[in-house]
Chains A and B, each alone.
Chain A
Amino acid sequence: MHEMSIVLSMLDLAEHSAREEGASRIDAIHLEIGALAGVVPEALEFAFQGARDGTMAEGARLEVDYLPAMARCAACESDFELDNRYGVALCPTCGTPSANLWQGRELQLAHLEVT
């Protein structure tokens, strides 16, 4: 249940960013989560419901944009989406395994809606 640690970091970052903007309340938190970030959506929401009380995000919505895992083949330079089920990075064009993952690990606070 590492989602709780992630949510606590998220709330720290969100409150800090909202205060810098002179906001008094956070209405929504928008995240970008990669397919290989290792985060379970339900666990994230569950942790958020438990951790938001007493913060500026007490009544806030959590909106998550999931990003597919993408790699670039070193051999033929084509970009391809990984098989999300297994994270296998075999180029569909030439069959070469790729270590060059350029999207899919994101755990990003994209933007906030504040008042």
Chain B
Amino acid sequence: MSTNPGTRDVALHAHGGVDGSDVRTVQVQKSLMTHNDGVAAENRTRFGDRLVLNIVSSPGSGKTALMERTVADLAETLRVGVVVGDLETDNDAVRIHGAGAPSVQIVTGAVCHLEAEMVARAVDGLDVDQLDVVVIENVGNLVCPAAWDLGEDLRVTMLSTTEGEDKPLKYPRIFKDADAVIINKIDIADAVGFDRDAALDAVRKVAPSATVFETSARTGEGMDAWTAWLRERQAEKRSTIAGAPAGAGVAAAR
């Protein structure tokens, strides 16, 4: 199959169709994500100088436990709000709320990932002006969420020590796009025979520029490095946007 480069409004090589009608070629050359990306850009404008994270992982790697701990650890310095996506139930939003942070649940039904429009609607339920950080906890899935920009600044991909060291090799796209990779449940790494070096090597091969954190949401191990990084990124975004000319806030987005 050939593709014809050129502008989309030039109709090329009209020829006879099977029923004798004229078939024309229309150049489009647009991303299938055009609509989503437009809404994501609106989300970015609305988030302003707040730091926005999109956290992805497989189900059960500990996203919600990590968020509970993160919210509690940051409580004295940053106001964090959480948007949680799941196929069903608001259990996770209830847990985050219990940890002391405003939270909104997106119930996706049959949809295996979050899209920018779902986030736009959910954010109506958060008082964004009163927040410093917005965390979007995506649906537990290492494949489907990859293509959807939600308007985040940073994408964080998590795996846990119970899942196997080769997760980054099996799901390269979602690790390749990560700004940070978290290896969670590090407290039980020895018990489950987790090969730390193999995991770090797999991350480095697929996502060489990602910052790696090793955490335990249960014991708190490694949480200081993770929360310090979040505080730095938040301060960095705030100063970037404060220093930019009026109306140029969107330019600081990823």
Contact = CB atoms under 8 A, between A and B. Distances in A.
Interface string A103-115: 0011111111111
B175 to A, nearest CB: 8
Contacts of A2: 111-113, 143-145, 147
B162 interface: no
Interface of B: 1, 3-4, 8-9, 11, 17, 21-36, 111-113, 115, 143-147, 169-170, 172-176, 204-209
A107 to B, nearest CB: 4
A13 B144 contact: no
Nearest to B146: A38
B209 A99 contact: yes
B173 A89 contact: no
B3 A21 contact: no
A51 interface: no
25 contacts: A2-B144, A5-B113, A5-B115, A6-B147, A9-B34, A13-B32, A13-B35, A23-B26, A36-B173, A38-B173, A86-B169, A86-B170, A90-B205, A97-B204, A108-B30, A109-B31, A110-B28, A111-B25, A111-B29, A112-B25, A112-B26, A113-B24, A115-B17, A115-B22, A115-B23
Contacts of B174: 38
Q: How would you classify the secondary structure of chain A's contact residues: helix, strand, loop or mixed?
A: mixed
Interface residues of A, number: 42
A98 interface: yes
Given A5-B115, A13-B28, A109-B32, 5 more contacts: A2-B143, A37-B173, A38-B143, A65-B1, A88-B205
Contacts of B113: 2, 5
B26 A107 contact: no
Interface of A: 1-2, 5-6, 9-10, 12-14, 17-18, 21, 23, 27, 30-32, 36-38, 63, 65, 86-90, 97-99, 101, 105-115
Q: Across the A-B interface, give the 4 residue pairs with the lowest CB-CB distance, nearest first.
A: A87-B172, A97-B208, A2-B144, A99-B209
Contact of B32 (A6, A89, A97): A6
